[in-house]
Amino acid sequence: MQIASVVPSSRFLERRIVKTAKVAEAKTIVELGPGTGGTTRAILAAMKPDAKLLTVEINPLFHQLVSQINDDRLMTHLGNAAELKDILEKRGLPAPDVVISGIPFSTLDHKLGTKIIEVISSVLVYGGRFVAYQARNRVADLCEPVMGCCNDKKLELLNIPPMRVYCWSKNGFKKRGTTQ
Ligand SMILES: C[S@@+](CC[C@H](N)C(=O)[O-])C[C@H]1O[C@@H](n2cnc3c(N)ncnc32)[C@H](O)[C@@H]1O
């Protein structure tokens, strides 16, 4: 239920996530649910030399795997994404430019899913981006009341299973039926 996937993300999906999130332009990046760390490595490969990446993983085994990545720009945290605000504060990190999430919102309890979306929305810098890659549409249903309709949605077919990559921009959060 927490992992929702038996196959790590493909190179094609990793590339799409990095591009959609504009990782190369970001200073502070958060990755929720890094799993075995393939996406983490792809993010690090695209990041600026002075950027920082914080991962938040709830599974101790995955957290341990990601913590073995040797990169001074990487900070890893074992815990729940719902605590992101406190985690950033305790580590003295600024508002992130980008939050990337692989957390399977489709299998999460509705209350927890909404709490995670609310905290992401509150911590992002103005103009920041929230990118979620998901097999199902539930993340959009959870996000809409908080962030409005997504600004971008693409389907990556070269992944098992095919994955939707959603993006919300904080200054572009728009409610259904509005033009801005
Ligand atoms: C689909 S897997 C990640 C896949 C990986 N990033 C990749 O692309 O190969 C989802 C991950 O989210 C983690 N996760 C689930 N709920 C979480 C939560 N509330 N907080 C942090 N991590 C969570 C799971 O343990 C799992 O590692």
Q: pLDDT of 60-86, one tens digit each?
A: 999 999 999 999 999 999 999 999 999
- Residue 8: band (very low, low, confident or very high) from pLDDT cuts 50, 70, 90: confident
Q: In order of start, what are the domains of the chain with their CATH numbers?
A: 12-171 (3.40.50.150)
Q: What distance in Å separates the CA atoms of residue 155 and residue 29, rounded to the nearest whole number? A: 23
Residue 149 predicted with pLDDT over 50: yes
Average pLDDT of every residue of the chain: 92
Cα–ligand 1 centroid distance for 82 (angstroms) = 13
* Pocket of ligand 1 contains residue 56 by CB under 6 Å: yes
pLDDT at residue 177, rounded to an integer: 47
The per-residue pLDDT for range 117-144, each reduced to its tens digit, is: 999 999 999 999 999 999 998 999 999 9
* C-alpha 35 to ligand 1 mean position (Å): 5
175: exposed, middle or buried (Cβ count in 10 Å: 0-12, 13-18, 19+): exposed
Cα(5) to ligand 1 centroid in Å equals 9
For residue 65 and ligand 1, the question of a CB distance below 6 A is answered with: no
pTM of the model: 0.93
Please indicate whether residue 163, judged by its CB atom, sits closer than 6 Å to ligand 1.
Answer: no
What is the atom index within ligand 1 of the atom nearest the CA of 108?
A: 16
CA of 59 to the centre of ligand 1 (A): 8
Q: Is 59 in the pocket of ligand 1 (CB under 6 A)?
A: yes
Q: Which atom of ligand 1 is nearest to the CA of 116?
A: 19
